[in-house]
């Protein structure tokens, strides 16, 4: 069995739909913090998949981030996530975000390993009236 990756990188190109202006902020055509967080979470989810057994998924439970510099529309932005530790069902990640000019964000993220079917059933039960 191959060794599981401890790091994963995911790159997006910043579009108009990902700007601060789009979410009602006074910001201009730059990557919004919620979209940077989404990139951080998406990268961590991809890395988490390497550690799951069949029938498992992960859910995001906590994220902290610092948005350090603006990234304009059209520029590529990359989240580099590293698995710090696994404690029972908890997976802790440390993440750095870079655009084409340098580091623009950093943070940490907690994902919880859960049974896919049980999670779907809990969600469905909440939507019943």
Domain spans, the chain: 7-128
Check the annotation: does 111 bind a ligand. yes
- Residue 43 — very low, low, confident or very high, per pLDDT cuts 50/70/90? very high
Catalytically active residues, by annotation: 33, 41, 67
Tell whether 60 is in a known binding site: yes
CA-based diameter of the chain, in Å?
A: 51
- pLDDT higher at 22 or 96: 96
* 2 has a pLDDT exceeding 60: no
> Is a pLDDT exceeding 80 seen at residue 107?
yes
Strand partners, 57: 114
Distance CA 129, CA 127 (A): 6
Best CATH choice for the domain 7-128 from the list 3.10.129.10, 3.40.50.970, 3.30.70.20, 3.30.460.10? 3.10.129.10
Q: Is 37 exposed, middle or buried (0-12, 13-18, 19+ CB in 10 A)?
A: buried
Residue 28: per-residue pLDDT: 77
pLDDT tens string 47-63: 999 999 999 999 999 99
CB-based contact 104:71 (threshold 8 Å): yes
């Amino acid at each position: 069995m191959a060794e599981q990756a401890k790091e994963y990188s995911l790159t997006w190109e910043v579009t108009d739909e990902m700007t601060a202006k789009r979410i009602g902020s006074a910001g201009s055509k730059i990557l919004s913090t919620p979209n940077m967080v989404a990139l951080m979470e998406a990268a961590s989810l991809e890395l988490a998949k390497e550690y799951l057994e069949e029938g498992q998924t992960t859910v995001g439970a906590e994220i902290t981030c610092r948005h350090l510099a603006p990234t304009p529309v059209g520029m590529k932005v990359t989240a580099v996530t590293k698995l710090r530790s696994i404690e029972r069902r908890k997976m802790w990640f440390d993440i750095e975000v870079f655009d084409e000019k340098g580091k623009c964000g950093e943070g940490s993220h907690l994902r919880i390993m859960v049974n896919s079917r049980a999670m779907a059933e809990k969600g469905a039960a909440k939507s019943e009236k």
